């Protein structure tokens, strides 16, 4: 990692001393400061006499966590720990990612967002509001770190399956960027969470005395476009090496902003491209089990928002590399939303939806549409809990020997079906993944381990690749490469258990392997601005953040 980031550097320690040092999460070592360091840095008397190792500090944290009653309490504790000592925080998280990812992110982050104003302790990141119009660059300069490489920015307009929760959505940029580091060892100092506060439609939040955001309805589309343009220009001025990660904007806004900026600046939308990539990874992994070809699949979506459109678009791009025309690829995709099957007679479709209109009669019954289209792969991005009922799963089994069923909506109570339902109703035939991690299922003497089709398999690797290679743009091909790199790490042993994604136990190894493939593509495609090394993986590993003193 760059010398400017090494927290243990003496010059950086000496720049902040005394009590201020103990309140600097990136430089604080707490009880790990030696007696000599305490004398030199004005810390004598401010700490207990004992000098502890980092491992002992982590031991104490784990004991504290074991005493908490639920994961939301553990989340609150861990956020407080990050505020005090970043090194201990990441050492703890990276010691057991399978345990801590569900606490820091999905599903616990949904509970944290719903109660964000109540559990708020300290600002993490920046809040940019409509009232800063004309001064956004000036405001961004208030951030103390000057070499910001990633901004994760959300309006809070469509958080998980919770809808518009405005400033309460700040938990998402915070959590997303924590996983850049926890999963892919991107140095935390270069990460900046931003809540773009444009107001909220959520009247109950606006009336909540603990709500922390602007208590106004959202701005118009035209004003949002104007504010976003100023924000993007300000980011490019203040942080010229920054990649903008759009997260959880309202569906139509998300698609419009990605289309507007993807060829102008270094950016991506995780809800669209990250979700698409992780879904494609699961499909590629499933096809390794079924022996099928992507070009022969018929994919049906329940839900036709930004996530569904993003997945469909990336699948079509991949199908085109397999010899299909764009029209042929689109003909293999059907979508069903709240108003029924997307077909040509509907007048309520967006431009992004129209291209997936199937030449079928109007249908408002999902099961009827399913029987008419006869998909091989079923993808739920609807937030309609229970929509994949017994009849739906049984129908998929009539069409397919091994139906592929993805219930991607989250949090848990929004999933289209559970793993147990999918395996039970299909008598173990289904290849299943969800947006959340369901427990193992015992059926007919066999253990099934459902996969979690969560973007954390993709976007941290994209972040690591972007951090080291410094590409000019992130193309759809970067996300296709990421999908196949992820799928290729699911070996026959895991697939025999029904798993479609790598184990979370070794998530850093998985992300580095995926990032290596992405970086190779970036160099081959002429996207990277860094100088190509002889050994790309070794070069990446040398730049990984390590939580150590």
Active-site residue list: 105, 176
Q: Do the beta carbons of residue 534 and residue 497 sit within 8 Å?
A: no
Residue labelled with tokens 């939301």: 72
DSSP 501: S
**Chain centroid to CA 94: how far?**
17
Say how many Å lie between the first and final Cα of the chain, rounded: 14
503: left (phi over 0), alpha (psi -120 to 50) or beta: beta
Q: How far apart are CA 233 and CA 311, in angstroms?
A: 29
Look at the chain and count its residues. Answer: 549
Q: What stretch of H or E contains 372?
A: helix 366-373
| Residue 236 φ then ψ, to 5° | -65, -30
DSSP 231: H
Q: How far apart are CA 387 and CA 75, in angstroms?
A: 30
389: left (phi over 0), alpha (psi -120 to 50) or beta: beta
Torsion sign, CA atoms 465, 470, 474, 477: negative
Angle, CA 544 vertex, CA 541 and CA 549 arms, to 5°: 125
Q: Do the beta carbons of residue 437 and residue 406 sit within 8 Å?
A: no
3-state SS class at 348:
coil
Sheet (strand 267-269) strand order: 126-129, 191-197, 150-154, 243-246, 267-269
Burial of 63 (0-12, 13-18, 19+ CB in 10 A): exposed
């Amino acid at each position: 990692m760059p010398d400017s980031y090494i927290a243990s550097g003496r010059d950086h320690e000496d720049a902040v001393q005394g009590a201020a040092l103990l309140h600097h999460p990136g430089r604080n070592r707490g009880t790990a400061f030696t007696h000599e360091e305490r004398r030199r840095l004005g810390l004598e008397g401010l700490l207990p006499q004992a000098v502890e190792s980092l491992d002992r500090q982590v031991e104490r944290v784990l004991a504290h966590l074991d005493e908490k009653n639920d994961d939301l309490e553990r989340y609150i504790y861990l956020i407080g720990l990050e505020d005090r000592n970043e090194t201990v925080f990441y050492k703890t998280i990276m010691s057991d990612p399978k345990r801590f990812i569900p606490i820091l992110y999905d599903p616990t982050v949904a509970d944290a967002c719903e109660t964000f104003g109540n559990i708020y302790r300290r600002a993490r990141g920046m809040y940019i509001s409509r009232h800063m119009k004309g001064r956004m660059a000036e405001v961004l300069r208030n951030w103390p770190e000057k070499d910001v490489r990633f901004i994760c920015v959300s309006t809070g307009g469509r958080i998980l399956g919770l809808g518009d929760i405005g400033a309460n959505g700040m938990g998402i940029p915070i959590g997303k960027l924590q996983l850049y580091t926890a999963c892919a060892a991107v140095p935390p100092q270069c990460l900046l969470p931003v809540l773009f506060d444009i107001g909220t439609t959520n009247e109950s939040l606006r009336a909540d005395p603990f709500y922390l955001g602007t208590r106004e309805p959202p701005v118009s589309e035209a004003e949002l476009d104007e504010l976003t343009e100023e924000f993007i220009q300000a980011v490019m001025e203040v942080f010229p090496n920054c990649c903008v990660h759009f997260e959880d904007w309202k569906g139509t806004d998300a698609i419009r902003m990605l289309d507007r900026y993807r060829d102008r600046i270094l950016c991506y939308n995780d809800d669209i491209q990250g979700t698409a990539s992780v879904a494609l990874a699961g499909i590629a992994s499933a096809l390794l089990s079924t022996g099928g070809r992507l070009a022969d699949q018929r994919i049906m979506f329940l839900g036709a928002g930004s996530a569904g459109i993003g997945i469909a678009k990336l699948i079509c791009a991949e199908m085109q590399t397999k010899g299909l025309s764009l029209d042929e690829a689109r003909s293999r995709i059907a979508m069903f939303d709240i108003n029924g099957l997307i077909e040509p007679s509907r007048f309520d479709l967006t431009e992004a939806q129209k291209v997936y209109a199937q030449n079928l009669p109007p249908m408002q019954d999902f099961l009827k549409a399913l029987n008419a289209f006869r998909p091989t792969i079923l993808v739920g991005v609807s937030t309609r809990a229970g929509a994949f009922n017994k009849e739906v799963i049984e129908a998929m089994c009539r069409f397919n020997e091994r139906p592929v069923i993805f219930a991607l909506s989250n949090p848990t109570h929004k999933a289209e079906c559970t793993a147990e339902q999918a395996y039970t109703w299909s008598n173990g035939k289904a290849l299943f993944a969800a947006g959340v991690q369901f427990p193992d299922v015992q059926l007919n003497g066999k253990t099934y381990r459902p996969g979690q089709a969560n973007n954390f398999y993709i976007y941290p690797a994209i972040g690591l690749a972007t951090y080291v290679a410094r590409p000019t743009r992130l193309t759809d091909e970067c996300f296709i490469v990421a999908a196949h790199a992820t799928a290729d790490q699911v070996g026959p042993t895991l697939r025999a258990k029904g798993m479609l994604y790598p184990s979370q136990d070794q998530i850093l190894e998985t992300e580095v392997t995926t990032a290596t493939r992405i970086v190779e593509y970036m160099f081959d495609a002429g996207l990277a601005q860094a100088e190509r090394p002889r050994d790309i993986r070794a070069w990446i590993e040398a730049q990984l953040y390590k939580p150590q003193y």
